Chain A
Amino acid sequence: MSVTGLSPNFKVAFDANSQVFSLAGVVRPRSVDEIADSIAMLKQAIDDVRGVLYVDVKRLIQMNNTAFHAFVRVALDACRSRADLRVVIVTSSVVGWTTRMFGHLNQIEPQISVEVYDSTFYPGQSFVEDTSFIPILRTQTKMTWRHERSILPRHGLRPGIAMADVCCGIGDFAVLVQKEFQPARIVALDHSKASLAYAREVATNFGITDIEYTYGDASEMLLEDNQFDFVSCRHSLQIFNERELLLKELYRICKPGGRVYITNEKNSHCLGEPRAQSIQWTYNEVAKLFSHFDMDVELGPKSRRYLADAGFDDILVESFMVTNLDGDPQDFADVITAWENVYAGEMAVRRGDKPEFIERFRQGFRDHIFAALHPKGYAGWPIWVASGRKPT
């Protein structure tokens, strides 16, 4: 429900099945009367739950002291009258003041605790946010940029627009866009503080000061509705397990008439000659490995469906192949080496694969490198680009 008289962004809900009472948006009432319905809903939720009530404030963007006192008072009174009740308040590290304000409650009432929702947002986070991966991410962006710089205008990127790059990683794509297309505004969001620190350093070194790097959760962004003409989210939908939620957020921040641009892979279509069979076997196994960790690196061709289901129209899809002939073949080889290290050296090990499997798995990567560096060889890595327009 949304509450009349307050910000239209204020939302209150109670999910009886999961015993989660959630507050989201902006709530700055002048008096408690303005939030009486929400207070009543919290009281009813407390009456209905057994054991633990979760109070989800992850997307609570603003709450004034009037509302804070009113909601907290209900929770405190409930704990005082019900020894069986526990209240867990779930905050987000992105919205720093909520953790601070709600964090005091445990000192008042031990039955109330605060959990910061800040652990793993998506299954592969620990793999892709490893800072040792940074050099290879830069190389990957360099290789894909050769293609994307001419593709992007077809999907709506042009000078003077407002743009968000969600899941920006080390921010190199935002820097390249800024230099090439001069948008009026770029916000670049990621959930890795290490990556953002690196991104700010790179931007500074390039003398670029007008990219707004921000720490955030792509599925729970602080960014307001309908702000951006162009929203990019590259190589990220495929590693989120809650893809619909992410797309909903991309849709929300995009202006009506603006476009959301996504890129994704289909790893089983990586190819090379010579030694094609070994290469193909390994990349088929890559797809299965990611699937084990609830990621879908076969997503590329499914982009059209995902965008359509999320409500976009005028959907454009195209693909390009990064190859060893694009630039220095050693760059291509370096990327494959990094993949081998992470996929075979870490992910397969974590899955519990046997040494003989891992050795065969590694061999396909080595053969891909062999093909890339062979004077008559050819090696490819296909990428799917898709964008959709948010209806006006």
Chain B
Amino acid sequence: MEVGNSVPAEAAFEPLLQFEMEMGTFLSEWQHCDHLSTYLARMISHNRADPVRHSNFFSSALNELLEVSFRGGTSSGQIGLSIYRHGPVERVQITFPCPAEQVPFYREAVSKIDRSDAHARYLDSISTDMAPSRESILLDLAINFDASIRIEESTSPAVTLIVDLPLEGLVS
């Protein structure tokens, strides 16, 4: 099953890198989110027109996805991350195990991104939430990074978020 917002027709995305880590290891240290996003962003940005700024932008977005996985993931299984490229767009596909009862919440959060009141809900979240919700983080990616986001579910209790980030256009 797939739920998502404004993802263009499937294009020929070229794989850039794949990364897997035991979820227990990932969850052992919060700084893994920062370190991984910084390191991977540098790797995939080196041949962009402005590698330094592309890396900075990409790291911001990727870190939020890793933090979502960190906060919502369970310690069994693996976190998997794949990054692809098509023209000015990088696609991040992140899969992490999570409690089965949590999956509908991710599905609902993704489904709301395309609604006409998304911007208003994002502002409301900044204005009132003490801490960012899963939904407001996805809204942040959609609004501030022009991301297209969809979700894939499998039979196992895991969530796969597929996030297309057209950052090359934003950076230059």
- A interface residues with partner B (beta carbon < 8 Å): 7, 26, 28, 30-32, 61-62, 64-66, 68-70, 72-73, 76, 94-97, 100-101, 104-105, 107-108, 187, 189, 196, 200, 209, 212-216, 222-223
In the assembled complex, which residues on chain B have CB atoms less than 8 Å from the CB atom of A7? 34
**Segment at the A interface, from B11-19, B55-63, B93-101, B151-159:** B55-63
Residues on A with C-beta less than 8 A from B34 are 7, 26, 28, 62
A28: nearest residue on chain B (CB-CB)? Answer: B34
What is the distance, in angstroms, from A92's C-beta to the closest C-beta of chain B? 11
Q: Does B164 contact A (CB under 8 A)?
A: no
B57 proximity list for chain A (CB < 8 A) = 96-97
**Across the A-B interface, the 9 shortest Cβ-Cβ residue pairs:** A65-B132, A214-B52, A100-B144, A30-B30, A212-B51, A28-B34, A214-B50, A108-B127, A97-B60
What residues of A have a CB within 8 angstroms of the CB of B136 in the complex?
A: 65, 69
Task: Indicate if B114 sits at the interface (CB-CB under 8 A).
Answer: no
Note all chain B residues with C-beta closer than 8 A to A73. Answer: 130
Q: Determine if B33 is an interface residue (Cβ-Cβ < 8 Å).
A: yes
Residues on B with C-beta less than 8 A from A189 are 52
Q: For residue A69, which residues in chain B have a CB less than 8 angstroms away from its CB?
A: 126, 129-132, 136
Tell me the complex Cα distance, A11–B59, Å: 19
Chain A proximity mask over B127-151: 1 for CB below 8 Å, otherwise 0: 1011110001100100111000000
Task: Please determine whether A104 and B126 come into contact, CB atoms closer than 8 angstroms.
Answer: yes
- Other contacts beyond A28-B67, A212-B51, A214-B53: 12, CB < 8 A: A32-B130, A64-B64, A65-B137, A66-B67, A76-B127, A94-B53, A96-B57, A97-B60, A97-B144, A97-B145, A189-B52, A200-B49
B47 touching A61, Cβ below 8 Å: no
Asked if B46 is at the interface of the complex by the 8 Å CB criterion, the answer is yes
Q: Which chain B residues border A212 with CB–CB below 8 Å?
A: 46, 50-52
Distance (whole angstroms) from the CB of A158 to the closest CB of chain B: 22
Taken together as a complex, chains A and B put the C-alpha atoms of A96 and B145 apart, in Å, by 10
Q: Tell whether A61 pairs with B126 under 8 Å between CB atoms, given A66-B131, A212-B46, A212-B51.
A: no
Chain A contacts of B131 at CB under 8 A?
A: 31-32, 66, 69-70
In angstroms, Cα B126 to Cα A69, docked, is: 6
Asked if B43 is an interface residue, CB under 8 A from chain A, the answer is no
Choose one: B53, B123, B132; the contact of A222 (CB below 8 Å): B53
Residues of B within 8 A of A100 (CB): 143-145
Q: B170: CB under 8 A from chain A? A: yes
Query: Do residues A64 and B145 form an inter-chain contact, with CB atoms below 8 A?
Result: no
| B118: Cβ under 8 A from any A Cβ | no
Determine whether B122 belongs to the interface, using a CB cutoff of 8 Å to chain A. Answer: yes
**With A69-B132, A209-B47 given, is the CB distance from A216 to B52 under 8 Å?**
yes
Bound CA–CA A187/B45 (angstroms): 13
Measured between alpha carbons, how far is A26 from B57 in the docked complex, in Å? 13
Instruction: Tell me if A215 and B53 are in contact (CB < 8 A).
Output: yes
Q: How far, in whole Å, are A76 and B129 apart by their CA atoms in the complex? A: 12
A/B interface sample: 19 pairs, CB < 8 A: A7-B34, A31-B131, A32-B130, A62-B63, A65-B67, A66-B132, A68-B126, A96-B53, A100-B145, A101-B144, A108-B123, A209-B47, A212-B50, A212-B52, A213-B49, A214-B50, A215-B50, A222-B52, A223-B52
Q: Does B171 reach chain A (CB closer than 8 Å)?
A: yes
Looking across the interface, which residue of chain A has its beta carbon closest to that of B71?
A30
Q: Does the CB pair A65–B140 fall under 8 Å? A: yes
A73 to B131 Cα, complex, angstroms: 9
Cβ B56 vs Cβ A222 within 8 A = yes
A30 to B34, CA, bound (A): 11
Q: Which residue of B lies closest to A30 (CB)?
A: B30
A216 to chain B, nearest CB (A): 7
Q: What's the minimum C-beta distance from A208 to chain B, rounded to whole angstroms?
A: 13
Instruction: Knowing A69-B131, A96-B171 are in contact, say whether A28-B63 is a contact too (CB < 8 A).
Output: yes
Q: Which residues from chain A contact B170 at a C-beta distance below 8 Å?
A: 96
Q: Report the separation of the CA atoms of residues A222 and B126 in the bound assembly, to the nearest whole angstrom.
A: 26
In the complex the two chains form, what is the Cα distance from A107 to B136 in whole Å?
17
B contact residues around A216 at 8 Å (CB): 52-53
CB distance from B106 to the nearest CB of A (A): 16
Using CB atoms, name the residue of chain B closest to A95.
Answer: B56
Q: CB-CB < 8 A to A76: which residues of B?
A: 126-127
B56 touches A62 (CB 8 A): yes
From residue B68, how far is it (CB to closest CB) to chain A in Å? Answer: 10
How near does chain A come to B40, taking the closest CB pair, in angstroms? 14
Q: Which of A7, A30, A223 has the most CB of B within 10 A?
A: A30
B140 contacts across to A, CB distance below 8 A? 65, 101
